[in-house]
Amino acid sequence: MSYLTYNGKMIQSEGHYVSGFAHIFQPKYGLYYNWFAVIDASNIANDDWHVPSRTDWGTLTTYLGGESVAGADVKVTGYDYWKSPNTGATNSAKLNVIGAGGRNYTGVFGTTFNVPTEIGWFWSTTQSDAQNAWEMGALYNSTFFGDGVNYKTNGYSVRLIKDSTSLSDGQIGTYTGNDGKEYATICIGTQEWISSNLKETKYRDNTPIPEVTSNAAWASLSSGALCAYNNDWNLV
């Protein structure tokens, strides 16, 4: 954990800033990836881990009681990452799902259905058709956490799941990414997940995942790419 100080007083901790008596929250969304990055043969996940398939996500929501209620168990509480009413949020599963929004298929951030604090999107590796793939979504005003189909060129958050785990339900562990970043993990049922959004910048073979900032360039992609929200790495 890092801190900023002024005149010997702490003014930053875990994304929260204090200026005088004002409290300013600095969100940290992780990185966003198009679908081509999550299925690239160079592998965005380190050894023994993978991006979840639609089936993997389905196993999770079934364990949590079904798509209609699973959002309550996985969404972080409060109003930093979800706007009111953040319906039903308990985060009892400790998956720490946040409303990170996304980048749409034209390369634009924060459009309808991609607004931070309103929705959180997560890729699966499962293709729907030539243009679309399956994703998971959670909402600020619902306990729903379930799948749907969207353009492969959208920019969404990514979580990873371990191929198999020795942990028991509720136990925690760690995961180290290809670029050396460490993540906490949580076992939910028989599945071990990273419990924050991915910030990976490299594939397993040490090849950098290209950052694409231009809207037009993003929209025309047919290969893997990443971005920070609004191209602002302070939000990662």
Q: Evaluate whether residue 23 is within a structural domain.
A: no
Q: pLDDT band at residue 17, thresholds of 50, 70 and 90?
A: very low
pLDDT of residue 186: 98
Q: Evaluate whether residue 50 is within a structural domain.
A: yes
Distance from C-alpha of 178 to C-alpha of 200, rounded to nearest angstrom: 7
**Is it the case that residue 8 has pLDDT exceeding 90?**
no
Q: Evaluate whether residue 198 is within a structural domain.
A: yes
Q: Evaluate whether residue 5 is within a structural domain.
A: no
pLDDT of residue 15: 53
Contact status, residue 161 vs residue 192, Cβ threshold 8 Å: yes
Kindly give, in sequence order, each residue whose CB lies less than 8 Å from that of residue 33, ignoring residues fewer than 6 positions away. Answer: 44, 123, 155, 156, 157, 158, 198, 209, 224, 225, 226
Q: Evaluate whether residue 90 is within a structural domain.
A: yes
Report the SS3 class of residue 172.
strand
Distance from C-alpha of 96 to C-alpha of 80, rounded to nearest angstrom: 12
Q: pLDDT band at residue 21, thresholds of 50, 70 and 90?
A: very low
More confident residue, 23 or 230: 230
More confident residue, 1 or 50: 50
- pLDDT tens profile 27-48: 999 999 999 999 999 999 999 9
Query: How many domains does the chain divide into?
Result: 1
Q: Evaluate whether residue 160 is within a structural domain.
A: yes
And the tokens for 96? 């720490």
Return the minimum-mean-pLDDT range out of 8-12, 177-181, 212-216: 8-12
Contact status, residue 218 vs residue 111, Cβ threshold 8 Å: no
Q: Mean pLDDT of all residues in the chain?
A: 92
Q: pLDDT band at residue 23, thresholds of 50, 70 and 90?
A: low
More confident residue, 25 or 16: 25
CB atoms within 10 A of CB 166: 9
- pLDDT tens profile 81-95: 999 999 999 999 999
Q: Which string of b and e fits 78-99 if b means at least 16 CB within 10 Å?
A: eebbbeeebeebebebbbbbbb
- pLDDT tens profile 202-228: 999 999 999 999 999 999 999 999 999
Q: Evaluate whether residue 16 is within a structural domain.
A: no
Contact status, residue 123 vs residue 109, Cβ threshold 8 Å: no
Mean pLDDT of 97-119: 97
Mean pLDDT of 145-165: 98
Q: Which string of b and e fits 48-77 if b means at least 16 CB within 10 Å?
A: ebbbbebebbbbbbebbeebeebbbbbbbe
**Is it the case that residue 1 has pLDDT exceeding 60?**
no
Mean pLDDT of 168-196: 98
Contact status, residue 205 vs residue 40, Cβ threshold 8 Å: no
Give, in order, the Cα–Cα distances in Å from 109 to each of 177, 213, 217, 228: 26, 11, 14, 10
Q: Evaluate whether residue 109 is within a structural domain.
A: yes
- Domain that includes residue 144, residue range: 28-235
Order of strands across the sheet that contains 3-6: 3-6, 9-13, 16-19, 22-25
Q: Which residue has the tokens 């799948």?
A: 147
pLDDT of residue 25: 77
And the tokens for 55? 């089936």
Rg (CA), the chain: 17
Q: State percent of the chain over pLDDT 90.
A: 89
More confident residue, 1 or 232: 232
**pTM score of the predicted model:** 0.90
